[in-house]
Chain A
Amino acid sequence: MYEFTYQRADTLGDAKTKLGSGDDPKLLAGGQTILPTMKQRLASPSHLIDIGNLSELQNISVESGHVTIGAGVKHADVASSAEIKSAIPGLAALAGEIGDPHVRHMGTLGGSIANNDPASDYPAACLGLGATIITDTREISADDFFTGMFETALGDDEIITAVRFPKPEKSGYMKFPNPASRYAVVGVFIAQHGNGVKVAVTGAAPCVFRWSEAETALNSKLSADAISSLTVPASDMNSDLHASAEYRAHLVGVMARRAIDILS
């Protein structure tokens, strides 16, 4: 790991000021992605600004129509929250399947979505649930937030403070995990809302996406049969040593059908 300057933020405002100075500053929350990336020298930020202890980012609030989770809330706390399990069981279950317990004790919601790894889990929940990403300056709909591989709509010195998830009638997430890393080779999050069904696919393509053909079919009939004849084009899929594009395209259908079977 190359040298960097470490700064601990005491408040959100302090983090914002620190993020505005320095050549190439990055935020440090749990560090479960940025630290391995820096060790591999794939990233070499000039400054790491530690927001891991900011109390402003740690709240979970459940209101009638939605659940708001602070950007600094750790995966393990989302997975074990009785309130989230009751309000959006599919979201709590997804958080409990990220990585392994040790990663879940450090990794955060904000860190995961800001990184927008094409194989990470939370982006699928954000898109499938129609979440709103709340930053220190504005609110961004999930549909506009995830813009490409490791790319988001965030500005250089913009900080995610929370994510607001509308409560669906039912939701469920099914992933085919890489057996070593537990990243999604393909993961599908499906949610039934009052105004229709959303189907979000992660792991398969360079960026999380909504499978609109499946949404249309499931709006007519919410059952696995309704999408059994649908396929996604392999030409749009990722291909690597873990799975070919054709295999990923196949898995999208399989995971979507299985997700329908576990909607709760």
Chain B
Amino acid sequence: MGFDISVSVDGQQHVIDVEPRLLLIQALREKLKITGPHIGCESGRCGACVVLMNGHAVKSCMTLAVQADGAKVITAAGLAEDKRGRELQSAFHKHHALQCGYCTPGMLCAAVDLLEENLDPDDHEIREALRGNLCRCTGYQHIVDAVKDAAHELSSSRAHAEGGEA
């Protein structure tokens, strides 16, 4: 039996009919054709499917689509509209924080969640925030460098903006 859910994805409202056992990642990719979030392990280990649900990073392969009814979901593609997302994108480019790019959509969502609460994270805090995201290419250090750089850029632009207002 299908179930109608209403979900906002990357700013666009959708009403979709889903089977209860359909995972959020499947609803995004197969029903809505939003292919930013990737299916990696599909068992909650790799984090390639991480999206922001109501502002928090969650694994969309460990969430039923019906659990996202009424939620606001942001995927990596939606981060193009987000200042932190854009800053991370350029920092990932600058620091070579991806090779194959398969983990990147999840990494970006997890990093945005961190930067929401902490614009001065140290290496340990960044690694803890990315604990649920596996990368088989980079060895992580370039990702950590990129997140740190993005945090620095965001906090200095905020300080600049606050200084300008004063």
Contact = CB atoms under 8 A, between A and B. Distances in A.
Contact of A102 (B43, B50, B66, B67): B50
Interface stretch (A2-10, A128-136, A192-200): A2-10
A101 B56 CA distance: 9
B58 to A, nearest CB: 5
A233 interface: no
Given A101-B57, A103-B132, A105-B56, A31 B113 contact: no
Interface string B114-130: 00000000000000110
Contacts of B131: 100-101, 182
Contacts of A6: 3, 20, 64, 66
Interface in B127-142: 128-129, 131-132
Contacts of B1: 5
B47 interface: yes
A182 B47 CA distance: 14
Contacts of B128: 101
Interface in A12-50: 28, 31-32, 35-36, 38-40, 48, 50
A106 B21 contact: no
A211 B14 CA distance: 54
A39 B43 contact: yes
B59 interface: yes
B44 interface: yes
A36 B43 contact: yes
Interface string B41-67: 011110100100100111100111011
A28 B129 CA distance: 26
A1 interface: yes
Contacts of A36: 43-44, 62
Interface residues of A, number: 29
A28 B67 CA distance: 10
B150 interface: no
Contacts of A87: none
Contacts of B108: none
Contacts of A48: 20
Contacts of B20: 3-6, 48
Contacts of B19: 3
A180 B45 contact: yes
Contacts of A28: 64, 67
A52 interface: yes
B111 to A, nearest CB: 11
A252 B3 CA distance: 48
Interface string A51-88: 01000000000000000000000001000000000000
Interface of B: 1, 3, 19-21, 23, 42-45, 47, 50, 53, 56-59, 62-64, 66-67, 110, 113, 128-129, 131-132
Given A103-B62, A106-B63, 14 more contacts: A1-B21, A5-B20, A6-B3, A6-B20, A6-B64, A28-B64, A36-B44, A38-B21, A39-B43, A100-B132, A102-B58, A102-B59, A105-B58, A182-B131
Closest 10 pairs (CB-CB, A-B): A100-B132, A6-B20, A105-B56, A100-B131, A102-B132, A1-B21, A102-B59, A102-B57, A105-B58, A102-B58
6 contacts: A6-B20, A31-B63, A38-B21, A100-B47, A103-B62, A106-B62
